Amino acid sequence: MANANVVAGTTRLKHAIKTLKDQWLITEATWNDKVRHRFEERYLAPLDPAIDAAVIGMFKLAEVLDQVRRDCSDRSPTL
């Protein structure tokens, strides 16, 4: 099983970006000019691939941590 703390972090990250997108859509009703669109292109659009990459990395990290945990628990104590 993937490391629960890392998986929880990915869930929080996904929730945070969804909340940001939902709130950003609300701004369109009152702020819909070139500055808004430039801000969106410059700062918000790059978030999607960055978030995707982060989530993939976090799952890979969870797998590594689980493997480390298994490797360490499989070692019999040497006396």
Compute how many other C-beta atoms are within 10 angstroms of the C-beta atom of residue 43: 9
User: For residue range 33-48, what is the model confidence (pLDDT) as tens digits?
Assistant: 999 999 999 999 999 9
Report, as an integer, the average pLDDT of 22-43. 96
- Who's near 55: CB < 8 A, 6+ residues apart? 10, 13, 14
> In the numeric block, which tokens belong to residue 73?
């628990």
Average pLDDT, the chain: 91
